[in-house]
């Protein structure tokens, strides 16, 4: 974070300042900011955030023991640390993030990129960060820091030397992306897709469209909207960009996209394709061969989005491709190869939506050779609301139509996948159901054999990512 004094913090946050004994309002504070007392380092700022289970004010002493110089609190806590007292700690976190980014932007050449979409945000963020980090100091979210706490914490890692800030914006309802993106007014906004992920929370696919389009509305005039030309709902955001004085840079598989992929070939060691790019501001085009080592054809679109954003920032296609080819893993628990060549486990159980579930199943079918066997271990997709039953049915149907040879469904919330697979003719142990991950593990340890290719896929709440890890260790 940039250097600030307690007096400046209090002014920015319109807060009451309580100085610790021996401290002054002009002391310089330049450490990091966090809401987790365990992660505070010497000179840092601890934000005492009230939570659903516990209260950050109970951990101020622990933060001080770890070196906190200042605590942002909603009430004064007895102790030996300077405290900035605010009405709302989460709102203060956002206000401080806005101030830090604006200060660095005004003083230098900081460029801000925002990324949203129903699927692919974290992968695209990691790919873009890999491209930009060789251009200059780049700040990007850790893991999936994309909510009202995680996004500001990412912004607060910006320093005077930072050249690029990448933000990942998630949401569970209307107005959340508008709020988060409004803190930084991105120079570039990337919208990946509008799908069924979290549709239950939004109230339907059209409400999801409105929520994701909030990023386009937040791009600063003169900026660039990077939009998916293959998704009609994302493409429909172009008029919103025009209203904002924002240009559009298209990515996709079609011939009209500014950044597009052709001749896509999916194998067990990644995806190969030819990437064509139209230079911004001209009709000239460039092409390059890309070997994307991250498993899954669907990640081609994430790579195209990253290339579209990076080339809009002035990075050459050659450099984009060279750097992307060094990326071996999108993120832990996202199409993560485990096990061995004997039994390959693909652990993709951090998030799941109808779109990502379908993409993962297709990848499993594509990378499995004729002498190998496909095994899909599937758990529930969360946050689908009234669409949950029909979308789980669709996954069971797709697994059968793709010819998945063993369909293993885990957990009561996912049972409809199993029932649909049975209804579609997948019986005689081709489809099987278990209530728990432990039962599933015991079954698979006796069932899996040499040559099996095993996909483990579910939403985070189903907990199958840990089952994937156990299987990976067992067959490594």
Per the model's pLDDT, the better-predicted residue between 238 and 108 turns out to be 238
Q: What pLDDT does residue 307 have?
A: 97
Confidence of residue 61 (pLDDT cuts 50, 70, 90): very high
Q: Where are the beta strands (DSSP E) in 58-136?
A: 70-73, 82-85, 111-116
pLDDT digits (tens, 9 = 90+) for 365-407: 999 988 999 999 999 999 888 889 999 999 999 999 999 999 9
Q: What pLDDT does residue 387 have?
A: 87
417-to-202, 265, 392, 454 alpha-carbon distances in Å: 24, 29, 5, 17
CA-to-CA distance for 465 and 211, rounded, in angstroms? 28
Q: What pLDDT does residue 399 have?
A: 96
Rg of the chain in Å (alpha carbons) = 24
pTM: 0.86
The residues spanned by each domain of the chain are 6-87, 92-324, 336-474
CB 111 within 8 A of CB 188: yes
Q: What pLDDT does residue 285 have?
A: 78
pLDDT digits (tens, 9 = 90+) for 150-190: 999 999 999 999 999 999 998 777 899 999 999 999 999 99
What letters, b where the CB count within 10 A reaches 16 and e where it falls short, cover 208-218?
bbbbbbbbbbb
Is 3.40.1190.10 the CATH number for 92-324? yes
30-to-9, 90, 152 alpha-carbon distances in Å: 11, 20, 16
Q: In terms of CATH, what superfamily is 6-87?
A: MurE/MurF, N-terminal domain (3.40.1390.10)
Q: What pLDDT does residue 426 have?
A: 82
DSSP code for 337: E
Average pLDDT over residues 37-44: 95
CB 181 within 8 A of CB 189: yes
pLDDT digits (tens, 9 = 90+) for 413-465: 999 999 999 999 887 779 999 999 999 999 999 999 999 999 999 998 899 99
Average pLDDT over residues 291-298: 91
Where do runs of H (alpha helix) occur along 370-463? 388-401, 415-423, 437-447
CATH placement of domain 336-474: 3.90.190.20
pLDDT digits (tens, 9 = 90+) for 218-263: 999 999 999 999 999 999 999 999 999 999 999 999 999 999 999 9
**Do the strands 285-292 and 270-278 form a parallel or antiparallel pair, or are they unpaired?**
antiparallel
Structure token pair of residue 92: 């203060």
Structure token pair of residue 434: 């278990």
3-state secondary structure at position 406: strand
């Amino acid at each position: 974070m940039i250097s600030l004094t307690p007096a400046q913090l209090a002014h920015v946050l319109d807060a009451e300042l309580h100085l610790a004994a021996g401290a002054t309002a002009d002391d310089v504070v330049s450490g990091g900011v966090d809401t987790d007392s365990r992660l505070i380092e010497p000179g840092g700022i601890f934000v005492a955030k009230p939570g659903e289970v516990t209260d950050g004010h109970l951990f101020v002493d622990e933060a001080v023991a770890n070196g906190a110089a200042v605590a942002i609190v909603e009430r004064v806590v007895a102790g030996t640390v300077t405290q900035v007292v605010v009405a709302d700690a989460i709102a203060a976190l956002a206000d401080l993030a806005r101030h830090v980014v604006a200060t660095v932007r005004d003083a230098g050449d900081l460029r801000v990129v925002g990324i949203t979409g129903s699927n692919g945000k974290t992968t695209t963020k990691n790919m873009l960060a890999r491209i930009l980090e060789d251009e200059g100091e780049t700040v990007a979210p850790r893991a999936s820091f994309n909510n009202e706490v995680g996004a500001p914490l990412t912004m607060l890692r910006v320093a005077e030397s930072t050249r690029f800030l990448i933000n990942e914006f998630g949401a569970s309802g209307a107005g959340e992306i508008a709020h988060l993106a409004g803190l930084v007014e991105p120079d570039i906004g990337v919208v990946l897709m509008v799908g069924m992920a979290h549709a239950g929370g939004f109230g339907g696919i059209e409400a999801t469209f409105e929520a994701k389009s909030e990023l386009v509305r937040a791009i600063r005039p003169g900026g660039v909207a990077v939009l998916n030309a293959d998704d009609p709902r994302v493409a429909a955001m172009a008029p919103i960009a025009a209203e904002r004085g924002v240009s559009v840079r298209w990515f996709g598989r079609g011939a009209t996209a500014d950044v597009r992929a052709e001749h896509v070939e999916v194998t067990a060691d990644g995806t190969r394709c030819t990437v064509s790019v139209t230079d911004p501001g001209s009709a000239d085009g460039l092409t390059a061969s890309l070997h994307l080592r991250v498993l899954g054809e669907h990640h081609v679109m994430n790579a195209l989005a990253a290339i579209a954003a990076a080339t809009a920032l002035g990075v050459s296609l050659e450099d984009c491709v060279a750097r992307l080819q060094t990326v071996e893993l999108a993120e832990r628990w996202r199409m993560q190869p485990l096990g061995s060549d004997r039994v390959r486990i693909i652990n993709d159980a951090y998030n799941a939506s109808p779109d990502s579930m379908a993409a993962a199943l297709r990848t499993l079918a594509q990378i499995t050779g004729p002498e190998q066997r496909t095994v899909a271990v599937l758990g529930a997709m969360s946050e689908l609301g009234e669409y949950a039953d029909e979308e789980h049915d669709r996954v069971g149907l797709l697994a059968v139509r793709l010819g998945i040879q063993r369909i293993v469904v885990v957990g009561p919330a996912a049972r409809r996948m199993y029932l649909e697979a049975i209804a579609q003719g997948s019986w005689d142990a081709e489809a099987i159901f278990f209530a728990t991950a432990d039962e599933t593990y015991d079954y698979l340890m006796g069932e899996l054999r040499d040559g099996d290719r095993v996909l483990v896929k579910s939403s985070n709440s189903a907990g199958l990512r840990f089952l994937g890890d156990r299987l990976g260790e067992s067959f490594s």
